[in-house]
Amino acid sequence: MLLIDSHIHLNAPEYKTNLPILLNEAKLRGISAWVMPGTLPQDIANLVQIANQFPHCFYSFGVHPWFLDDLADDWESILTASIERYFPVAIGECGLDFAKGMVAKQLAIFEKQVQLAVKFKKPLIIHSYKAVDEVLKILRKYPKATGVLHGFNGSLQQLEQALALGFYIGIGGAVTYSRANRMRAILASVPLDRLLLETDGPYQAGSYRQKGEIHEPSDLVQIARYIAEQKSLDLVELAKITSDNAINLFSLEMK
């Protein structure tokens, strides 16, 4: 079985002391690759180091809308130079979060990252909270843009619009909660050829974790098993479909 986690923060401090153990446990459970989104230019060196140390850990560079207070004025030139030097598999985690304020700055920084993605022919990893319409509005301006709306939490109508733009949909642990009826409706409407699996670890754990527990890399199996049941698929079949999707979107070199 080949599972790929399309969104996990392996550079998070919660993983720092035991990352080799956690990744080995995940491999034993059938998880073979991880895509690590960056949240600030300050993440880049650590992401590259992890990728050099552990096979099949792929990095993405971007600016997350939560951390604009920590963003240097020359972020765009740093990001551009890093893309040219290190060849990330994607641009992001970027996007919009209208619960966080600084809306005008968020919009400008997100659009610049969309432009970088188009320029370098990289997919986007997009965070969107209370801002899906604005995200879609910007994406419509760039027909060549592609990528994934990670942890998608919009409406079915917004989902249709994202799919029409050619984007993939990332689904994580939130769908496993018994009260997550809207998430299950979204999952049911996502075509298999546009579905990506993700943990968003160490954050956003599902019902398989107690409150306060760290979301570990091996937990992707729990998510995959639940989604396979919802989609009436064998786990191995779902793993192949979603991993092929990740490999195709991110142009992953699986050796």
For the stretch 174-213, pLDDT in tens is: 999 999 999 999 999 999 999 999 999 999 999 999 988 9
Predicted TM-score (pTM) of the model is: 0.97
Please give the pLDDT value at position 211: 86
CA distance 97 to 79: 21
192 within a domain of the structure (yes/no):
yes
CA distance 165 to 201: 27
Please give the pLDDT value at position 158: 98
DSSP assignment of 32-89 equals EEEEEE-SSGGGHHHHHHHHHHSTTEEEEE---GGGGGG--TTHHHHHHHHHHHH--S
255 within a domain of the structure (yes/no):
no
Domain membership of residue 117 as a residue range: 3-250
**For residue 255, is pLDDT > 80?**
no
- Token code pair at residue 226: 């639940």
pLDDT tens digits for range 146-161: 999 999 989 999 999 9
**For residue 244, is pLDDT > 80?**
yes
pLDDT tens digits for range 2-27: 999 999 999 999 999 999 999 999 99
Q: Backbone phi, then psi, for 122, in 5-degree steps? A: -115, 145
Task: Tally the residues of the chain.
Answer: 255
Please give the pLDDT value at position 219: 98
* HSE, side-chain direction, 13 A CA sphere, residue 241: 18
Cβ count within 10 A of residue 80: 15
Please give the pLDDT value at position 212: 85
Q: In the chain, what percentage of residues exceed pLDDT 90?
A: 95
Mean pLDDT across the chain: 96
Asked if residue 7 lies in contact with residue 245, where contact means CB atoms within 8 angstroms, the answer is: no
CATH code at position 124: 3.20.20.140
Q: In the chain, what percentage of residues exceed pLDDT 70?
A: 100
pLDDT tier for residue 239 given thresholds of 50, 70 and 90:
very high
223 within a domain of the structure (yes/no):
yes
214 within a domain of the structure (yes/no):
yes
- Token code pair at residue 153: 């939490």
126 within a domain of the structure (yes/no):
yes
Q: How many domains is the chain built from? A: 1
DSSP letter, residue 101: S
Q: What element of type H or E holds 21? A: helix 19-28
179 within a domain of the structure (yes/no):
yes
Cα 168 from chain centre? 10
124 within a domain of the structure (yes/no):
yes
